[in-house]
Amino acid sequence: MTRKTAMFMLLLIVLPIATGCWNRRELNDLAIVAGLGIDIADGKYLVTVQVVDPGEVAAGQGTSGRSPVTTFHAKGNTIFEAIRKMTTVTPRKLYFAHLRIMVIGEKLARKGIGEALDLLSRDQEGRTDFYIVVAKGTTAHNIVNVLTPMEKIPATKMYTSLEVSEKAWAPSVSVQLDQLITAIVSPGIQPVLTGISIQGNVAKGKKQANVDTPDTDTHLQYKGIAVFRGDKLVGWLNEAESKGYSNITDRLTSTVIETSCPKGGKLGIEIIRSQAKINGKVKGGKPEAEVVIYTEANVADVECKIDLTKTNTLYDLEKKTEQVLIAHNEQALKKAKKLKCDIFGFGEAVHRADPGYWKAAKNDWGKIFAELPVQFRVEVKIRRIGTVGDSFLNDLKE
């Protein structure tokens, strides 16, 4: 038998078992899950899914006026059991590969989210590029059921809104599954998640009428940062503390800082870029840390009489902005120390500086962190003052 003949015979044997579509899924047989909510209720997991109605969101097609999404929910001793139970009411099998947002109920977050994350990290069909948030003051079931304006699919709205909020406002952070698991198992840093709350009437938010008016009765709002110790929620950062967290952890892209004018009134400073670095060291057997932050900003909003053409004026504004940033940092650090949760990664910085010390101290780092001396060095440079050199308010008559 020639070599060519042997290769041909081998191909004939292999081809029938090497087809590329043996595990194909027909779209008509799947229910695309965009949002997932997990709560604890009556000692069981309450799982809620937000499924997309393709006919209501398809481009170029008219809509029937139905809701663009449908929600289903079920209880189970495990999350997987609850998901499978939903097949008794869903017309198609749930498909999680296009999941955009996962909402964890606050009650479950305080109990522990490790078990809830295991299924998602183990499932071979799922992806890890969805965001995870905590329902603040409500349940994940209520959050997933709220219909939102502008974006037809509420889960997509939550996903994009979190991205925009993180980049333009700062007191929110986008965290994906792999990032959350890494923070949970790392001894030198504790995880955080953004909180999401319902503003308005919960019952009205579930109805189609909620998106039929310009001023919606109920909407979703990202609010605060949830602090975890391991996989358990232990506290919340408020708005100022959340900004401080973003400053310290080099997550600050852009935000607004309000400061006062010398002769009264307010002035808004727009942060346009910022860089932060945490340095750790061990001195005399005790750890220390330093946070160095370099920030560039623009003058955005002048609501007082002030002469921005003077160099001394801009210098004073830079110093006042530095003071506000340092105040946010100190507030965030104070809250984290109170909770004994190193959410910033000071432990990782100390580990890099002195691995020997870290090996002996890592098991008690929560207590050590609560007493850790931290120095902030912040430098702000104002780059632009807008299209006008001075405010027209200076020309107003008293």
Using the 3D structure, point to which of 184, 216, 237 is the last residue of a domain. Answer: 237
How far is CA 62 from each of CA 55, 68, 150, 197, rounded to the nearest angstrom?
9, 12, 17, 32
Domain identity same for 224 and 340: no
Cβ atoms of 74 and 85 closer than 8 Å: yes
Tell me the per-residue pLDDT of 177-199, one tens digit each, with 9 for 90 and over: 999 999 999 999 999 999 999 99
Domain identity same for 182 and 259: no
Q: Which domain holds residue 363?
A: 239-398
In a domain, 332, yes or no: yes
The model's confidence at residue 271, banded by pLDDT at 50, 70 and 90, is: very high
Predicted pLDDT at 5: 74
In a domain, 133, yes or no: yes
| Residue 107: strand pairing partners | none
DSSP 321-360: HHHHHHHHHHHHHHHHHHHT---S-HHHHHHHH-HHHHHH
Domain identity same for 205 and 276: no
Between vectors from CA 50 to CA 45 and to CA 51, what angle results, nearest 5°?
125
Domain identity same for 157 and 254: no
What distance in Å separates the CA atoms of residue 225 and residue 242, rounded to the nearest whole number?
6
Cβ atoms of 184 and 230 closer than 8 Å: yes
In a domain, 3, yes or no: no
Using the 3D structure, point to which of 237, 272, 290 is the last residue of a domain. Answer: 237
Predicted pLDDT at 397: 46
Q: State the total domains in the chain.
A: 2
Using the 3D structure, point to which of 237, 254, 278 is the last residue of a domain. Answer: 237
Cβ atoms of 247 and 230 closer than 8 Å: no
The model's confidence at residue 123, banded by pLDDT at 50, 70 and 90, is: confident
Predicted pLDDT at 218: 94
- Summarize the confidence of residues 102-128 as an average pLDDT: 90
Non-local CB neighbours of 56 within 8 Å, separated by 6+ positions: 63, 64, 66, 67, 68, 152
- 378 or 126, higher pLDDT: 378
Closest CA to 89 of 49, 120, 127, 116: 49
Predicted pLDDT at 16: 61
- 24 or 5, higher pLDDT: 5
- Summarize the confidence of residues 348-362 as an average pLDDT: 96
Domain identity same for 318 and 285: yes
The model's confidence at residue 394, banded by pLDDT at 50, 70 and 90, is: low
- Summarize the confidence of residues 219-235 as an average pLDDT: 97
Tell me the per-residue pLDDT of 151-179, one tens digit each, with 9 for 90 and over: 889 999 999 999 999 999 989 999 999 99
Domain identity same for 51 and 122: yes
Q: What is the DSSP letter of 371?
A: T
In a domain, 108, yes or no: yes
Q: How many CB atoms lie within 10 A of CB 356?
A: 8
Cβ atoms of 342 and 357 closer than 8 Å: no
Non-local CB neighbours of 46 within 8 Å, separated by 6+ positions: 38, 39, 40, 73, 74, 75, 82, 105, 139, 141
What distance in Å separates the CA atoms of residue 332 and residue 170, rounded to the nearest whole number?
13
Predicted pLDDT at 305: 85
In a domain, 21, yes or no: no
11 CB burial (10 A radius; 0-12, 13-18, 19+): exposed
Domain identity same for 100 and 227: yes
**What pTM was computed for the model?**
0.90
The model's confidence at residue 67, banded by pLDDT at 50, 70 and 90, is: confident
Q: What is the CATH number of the domain that holds 280?
A: 3.30.300.210
Domain identity same for 290 and 204: no
Domain identity same for 265 and 223: no
- Summarize the confidence of residues 283-288 as an average pLDDT: 95
What distance in Å separates the CA atoms of residue 223 and residue 278, rounded to the nearest whole number?
26
Domain identity same for 227 and 360: no
Domain identity same for 188 and 263: no
Domain identity same for 261 and 232: no
Written as six digits, the tokens of 142 are 């209520």
In a domain, 222, yes or no: yes
Closest CA to 249 of 148, 170, 305: 170
DSSP helix/strand/coil, 303: strand
Predicted pLDDT at 126: 76
In a domain, 76, yes or no: yes
Q: Which of 29-33, 209-213, 231-235, 250-254 has the lowest mean pLDDT?
A: 209-213
In a domain, 23, yes or no: no
Predicted pLDDT at 105: 98
